[in-house]
Amino acid sequence: MFLVRFSIAGRNRWGRLQDNEITPLLSDPYDGIELDTRITLPVDAVRLLPPAVPTKIVCVGRNYAEHARELGNMVPDEPLLFLKPPSSLIPHQGVVRIPPQSTRVEHEGELAVVIGQRLFRAKSTAVRDKILGYTCFNDVTARDLQRKDVQFTRGKGFDTFAPCGPMLRTDLDPSDLAIETAVSGQVRQSGRTSQMVVPVLDLIAYISSIMTLEPGDIVVTGTPAGVGPLVAGDSVDVTIEGIGTLSNTVENWE
């Protein structure tokens, strides 16, 4: 099933997307999916939102060996975690803004997981049932500031640096999906989720050994090789097999 969050007449709601028609949900999907079958809406009539309202966005660095190498890094012994603030989220077709502090902003197409039920100190085998679904994410990064700072907060945390969505696929095996990022129509990153150093379920179990994951939290699973610059006027598409495409444009902050 494909879930979406959308805005219509000033209200934000969840819905099921099927054949370009949205059937609204009666409530948030975390405790089960109940459809409001009295109405359907054409997808073109709504504004799509990121398919989660997270308390935190937990990301992992260097989770594809080839990408670690391209930036001159070793693959770490344990997952290298960092957070992006929820204020960095933008939807499908939202605008990524290049901030004046950076001269090198890059794309990182990634598979994102939206948590469905609370997880704390979970075993990997217990994780799958607690996942709501899978979506596309662009971990936009000011590479110059990331290199300059000891930690990643500034380089990863600017407003608009977390495009996410639009579709959330609930029934999907995340272990071997094609993932591709194109900039202005040219493929820059092409990989498979099977190339992850730490697979999705193990990664989420690891994170839950440190912090409680709440319904709606987003776990972002790392980027394949091929990261590169974004400049004003670019379009950037992150496509994941079985999920769909996240499309955004790029502009400078005024």
- Select the residue whose beta carbon is closest to Zn ion and give its number: 139
The two tokens of residue 60 are: 């992992």
* Sole window of 1-9, 64-72, 139-147, 233-241 interacting with Zn ion (rule: CB under 5 A): 139-147
Q: Is 223 in the site for Zn ion (CB under 5 A)?
A: yes
CA distance 136 to 240: 7
Burial class (CB in 10 A: 0-12, 13-18, 19+), 100: exposed
The two tokens of residue 228 are: 């590169």
Q: Is 106 in the site for Zn ion (CB under 5 A)?
A: no
Angle at 186 between CA 46 and CA 188, to 5 degrees: 100
Nearer to Zn ion, 24 or 61 (CB): 61
Instruction: Determine which helix (DSSP H) or strand (DSSP E) holds 143, and give its type and residue range.
Output: helix 143-148
Length of the chain: 254
* Sole window of 44-52, 136-144, 175-183, 188-196 interacting with Zn ion (rule: CB under 5 A): 136-144
Number of residues counted as binding Zn ion (CB under 5 A): 3
* Sole window of 50-58, 168-176, 189-197, 223-231 interacting with Zn ion (rule: CB under 5 A): 223-231
Strands 186-192 and 141-142: unpaired
Among 62, 97, 102, 108, binds Zn ion (CB under 5 A): 108
Cβ atoms of 26 and 37 within 8 Å: the answer is no
Among 92, 97, 112, 139, binds Zn ion (CB under 5 A): 139
Nearer to Zn ion, 181 or 223 (CB): 223
CA distance 254 to 90: 18
Nearer to Zn ion, 193 or 223 (CB): 223
Nearer to Zn ion, 4 or 183 (CB): 183
Q: Is 217 in the site for Zn ion (CB under 5 A)?
A: no
Q: How far is the CB of 59 from Zn ion (least distance, A)?
A: 6
- Backbone φ, ψ for residue 11 (5° rounding): -110, 140
Nearer to Zn ion, 22 or 160 (CB): 160
Would you tell me which residues interact with Zn ion (CB under 5 A)?
A: 108, 139, 223
